[in-house]
Chains A and B, each alone.
Chain A
Amino acid sequence: MKTVYLDNNATTRVAPEVIEAMTPYFGEYYGNPSSAHRFGGQVAARLKEARERVASLLGAEPGEILFTSCGTESDNTAVRSALALNPGKRHVVTSRVEHPAIRTLGQYLVEQGYEVTEIPVDGEGRLDMDRYADSLRPDTAVVTLMWANNETGVIFPVEEAAQMARDQDILFHTDAVQVVGKVPVRLKESAIDMLSLSGHKLHGPKGIGVLYVRKGTTFSPYLIGGHQEGNRRGGTENTPGIIGLGKACELAAANLDKENTEVRRLRDRLEQALTATIPSSLVNGGGEERLPNTSNISFESVEGEAILLMMDEFGICASSGSACTSGSLQPSHVLRAMGVPFTMAHGSIRFSLSVYTTEEEIDFVIEKTPPIVERLRSLSPFWDPAKATCTSG
């Protein structure tokens, strides 16, 4: 069975060029880049090149790039560094719809006695900028806001938010794992102090992340150890991972146009076709400011996990914000924060495309999805086929 992979916000296919670039550094060139000999030194040269490629994609300088093990480590490092350097400031600003990497960290900080303000979003998933402006205080140590939401693709105006923080001398961090490679990023021209990205979200390998730290930003390391990464992150470098990520960033720069033309066109086609053929379906966070690859659609009176498993029978991979999928009992915190009713949230499906998605795959999903929803609705006590709507709930 052929796999139709529309779950690229969860993870992406590692580009064949990336695998090719990495492979020799698992085997033949296993040297330690810190070594004095040429055998290690040649690896160090490739790390330098990778760092330049990442910096170039972000519009940053190589010295501002720190390699980490994942997006979560980058997020933790950024926020904890800001707090460690500002012991007198006990207030953190974030949003209600963050990824668990930030959300759970926020809950932990509350337990540690910090005050955390979570800025709400509206029904379209957009950040309440008035509330944000009001939340910034003299004792705010750091703002951490995701650049784009992983579930809906809604993009936050982080550059504007960063400027507002800078005006009050507050450090600004953004979790940009969903954005890099899909939306142009020019850090040099922004007021963003720290940014997280993750290799496996942009066709790089898993186990490699980046924390951008603006030159001149004071920094406190999270992993204490050797002199690696300019004394800012101890631990022998994940050399194949870094080299692979460098290649992935180079490819992402080349594909940025395609993401915003071809991928966007396929996404729009999928979204329009499904909402047109399936009654009582609705796009969550479908406004203008959205990632070009993401579509989050709710199908009323069916349950998301059941849809996913039936899709799985056809090799279609997507994800859901339903409670049953995650093992928790409540649907996605993102959809709840947007005020999506439970009746719709339980039936939400996220399709996330990539540059590898083809026209044929989209045709296939457009063909297979409506009968699945119809079949599950025929089993549902809440579905009234005569009215093609939900009867109670």
Chain B
Amino acid sequence: MWEYTDKVKELFLNPRNAGVIEDADGVGEVGSMACGDALKLCLKVNDEGVIEDARFQTFGCASAIASASALTEMLKGKTVEEAEKITNQEIADYLGGLPKEKMHCSVLGQQALEKALAHYRGDPVKEEEEGEIVCECFGITDRQIEKAVRENNLTTLEEVTNYTKAGGGCETCHDRIREIIQAIRAERQPKVRPRMSNIQKIQLIEETLENEVRPSLRQDGGDIELVDVIGNRVLLSMRGACATCKASQQTMKNFVEAKLRELVWPEIDVEEVPS
């Protein structure tokens, strides 16, 4: 049984603001029944740009219903500008926290809010902003995953699944999700440094392998070792599960090389040598 806070239980058993607004100024619908949860959010905004009324309809579990109800309570009386700043974490905080496996319920609320506000502003639906589907099972795009990773400072695949559901089905998208996490974490690292001695280069390569590469290889039971550095050529050897993995070539080029080019120096050419 889930450990829900009293606030979650209260808003689940006696949800506030359930229903629709017939002449709503902003409507946002997210999720689907196939996914297991869905939310329709209706907003009534007055001439001063203040949200006068907010109502929801939810298909989902107790925490999905409570999150939607909490969101409507938070929205009432706020200006549109204030509403835009609401994050999924604030929805979860309003409820006194959610079990980590249920954080996606708060993300669903935030996504519905975003759509409802876009609808209110009359923004055209921008296809390119929707991103490309990463998780086929739940229809989650790279944009949605990136947003969740950034806003909640997520570092592992498991956290991404808890927050977005992405990767919770057939699991074939796990590598892609790890790449997204890595890419965002890399943004936060200091950029390319000027002129280094060979010793410095080797140290920086080692450091990058240790912090940025090994953690995700180890999740799959693999490892990597630096063999030599000759000019721009960086010779590496795969260990453990990676050594026998058919995809190791791809991992070398797409992941390891990209990482080293980004964080060490941009002309690096990675070569895999037998262990």
Please tell me if B223 contacts chain A, counting CB pairs below 8 Å.
no
- B interface residues with partner A (beta carbon < 8 Å): 2, 9, 12-13, 15, 18, 29, 32-40, 57-65, 101-102, 137-138, 161, 165, 168-169
Q: Are B138 and A309 in contact (CB under 8 A)?
A: no
Q: Are A329 and B168 in contact (CB under 8 A)?
A: yes
Roughly how many angstroms separate A378 CA and B39 CA in the complex, as a whole number? Answer: 13
For B58, give its contact among A324, A329, A380 (CB under 8 Å): A380
Q: Are A306 and B12 in contact (CB under 8 A)?
A: yes
In the complex, chain A residues whose CB is within 8 Å of the CB of B168 = 328-330
Q: Are A327 and B101 in contact (CB under 8 A)?
A: yes
Q: A324-B60, A382-B38, A393-B32 are in contact. List 14 more A-B contacts (CB 8 A).
A: A301-B33, A309-B9, A322-B36, A323-B36, A324-B36, A324-B64, A329-B36, A329-B165, A330-B168, A342-B33, A342-B34, A342-B35, A380-B58, A392-B33
- Please tell me the size bucket of the interface on A: 20 to 34
Given known contacts A323-B36, A327-B101, A329-B169, A379 and B62 CB-to-CB distance under 8 angstroms: no
**What are the interface flags for A323-346 relative to B under an 8 Å C-beta threshold, 1 for contact and 0 otherwise?**
111011111000000000011001
Q: Are B165 and A393 in contact (CB under 8 A)?
A: no
Q: Are A380 and B61 in contact (CB under 8 A)?
A: no
Say what secondary structure dominates the interface of chain A: loop
Chain B nearest CB from A311 CB (Å) reads 12
For A303, give its contact among B13, B34, B37, B137 (CB under 8 Å): B37
Q: Are A381 and B36 in contact (CB under 8 A)?
A: no
Roughly how many angstroms separate A303 CA and B138 CA in the complex, as a whole number? Answer: 16
Q: Are A309 and B62 in contact (CB under 8 A)?
A: yes
Roughly how many angstroms separate A305 CA and B36 CA in the complex, as a whole number? Answer: 11
Roughly how many angstroms separate A294 CA and B78 CA in the complex, as a whole number? Answer: 50
Please tell me if A21 contacts chain B, counting CB pairs below 8 Å.
no
In the complex, chain B residues whose CB is within 8 Å of the CB of A327 = 101
Roughly how many angstroms separate A301 CA and B29 CA in the complex, as a whole number? Answer: 16
Q: B34, B59, B61, B137: which has the most chain A beta carbons within 10 Å?
A: B59
Chain A nearest CB from B147 CB (Å) reads 19
For A381, give its contact among B15, B39, B161 (CB under 8 Å): B39
Roughly how many angstroms separate A302 CA and B137 CA in the complex, as a whole number? Answer: 20
Q: Are B65 and A306 in contact (CB under 8 A)?
A: yes
Roughly how many angstroms separate A329 CA and B165 CA in the complex, as a whole number? Answer: 7
Q: Are A313 and B161 in contact (CB under 8 A)?
A: no
Roughly how many angstroms separate A164 CA and B58 CA in the complex, as a whole number? Answer: 50
Chain A nearest CB from B60 CB (Å) reads 5
